[in-house]
A and B are shown apart, each in its own frame.
Chain A
Amino acid sequence: MTHISVKVDGTTYEDDVEPRLLLVHYLRDRLGLSGTPIGCDTSNCGACTVELDGVSVKSCSVLAVQADGGEVTTVEGLARDGELTALQRAFHEKHALQCGYCTPGMLMAARDLLREHPHPTTDEIRHALEGNLCRCTGYQNIVRAVQAASEQEVPA
């Protein structure tokens, strides 16, 4: 067992974990933060995308011990005091989700994109989200939503 200390969505947790424990299982099974789902076992689908120390990562491809001393933001930490982010609002307003299973990962990946490229073209959006799969929407409304959020003054 390895002792880790991780700040997740503003709260610091201290735990002893198996070195092989995946970050996504740590979030879901140990911390009960089940807002971040798992969609595959080959890091293709991106459903489990979270932010680790300012960068988006697929939390199925990161060990919990690698997050030791780090700061994680999940989909559950995006809205503050019930105030949705521009991206969350845009996903709702542009109908960018149907079943919603890919949505946490899409939101986190899109957030990463807008941080680096505040005003992406639709092509840039499509390529930036290439690592996040959605089976319901055909992506068109996801692209619209990211574009709409990028036009907001409030940061994503």
Chain B
Amino acid sequence: MIKKNNWKAWLYLGPVIILMAVFTFYPLISTIGIAFLKDYNYLTQSSKGFTFENFGVVLGLVGTEYQGTTYYMTDVVKYAIPNTLIIVFVTVPLSTIISLLIAVGLNSIPWFKKIMQTIFFIPYVTNAIAVGMVFAVLFDYQGIINFITGQMGTPWIDLGASQTRAMIALCVYIIWHALPFKILIFLSGLAGIDKQYYDAAKIDCASKFRTLTKITVPLLSPQILYVLITSFIGSFKEYTAVVGLIGRQGTSAGSKNMYTVVYYIYDTIGNNQVQYGSAAAVLLFLVILAFTALQFWVSKKRVYY
């Protein structure tokens, strides 16, 4: 009855395919290409041929020559990669656990459920830069957090702050901002769990903790996997949180100790060093790809559909 309508379908898909060809697929190939070009200049689109050096330069292994001296660019290895890894492995697990607890709590209370859900969702509809600036006021050396904890004058993120303290402030902000999306996803997952499982647990006098670990978490595993994959990818690419909260590359003048990998990539565009930026982007892509593949592999054993 329904006939194949090939050409018509391609007409409907036309806009999407053209736009994606220009702004998604071509850039993907082109960026990989640029990563292998020596001394590429995007203004003139000229280069000195094919090279593997860019990856070495990004990782601080190959030096670049400038007026007779060889410089090693170590910002990525020393700051960008460690910072990104800290963000990934601190904020993702913590925010996932906290939002899971909040979602389970919200799911079990009889009163104020709707209003609580709304409150917990508010951070989602805010501007990452704007709220980052609010957190900068909270974490000011004369700010409210120092006032409450009795350490007025010790900087968190202002010039002269230690890298550790700045990273703590950054992680707190990222976790705060990551909660609403995860809570919402978990809540929609919890709504789909059959009440029978909990009744069975009640008859067996299972403790609340056991119910959580043996029923809720396994039945919620598809949502947990989804949240983990999206937030791992997201935090590997963290950039706006740093710009919003700290607004510069480092906690002291000229320092780049607040660099993340993506921060570095964007900086290369302004410095006309996109071949290094491209190399870093390719490396980041490979890491994310490997990480996502690993999660899917683990999920085959751990996720119950």
Asked if chains A and B come from one complex, the reply is: no
Q: Which B residues lie at the A interface, using CB under 8 A?
A: none
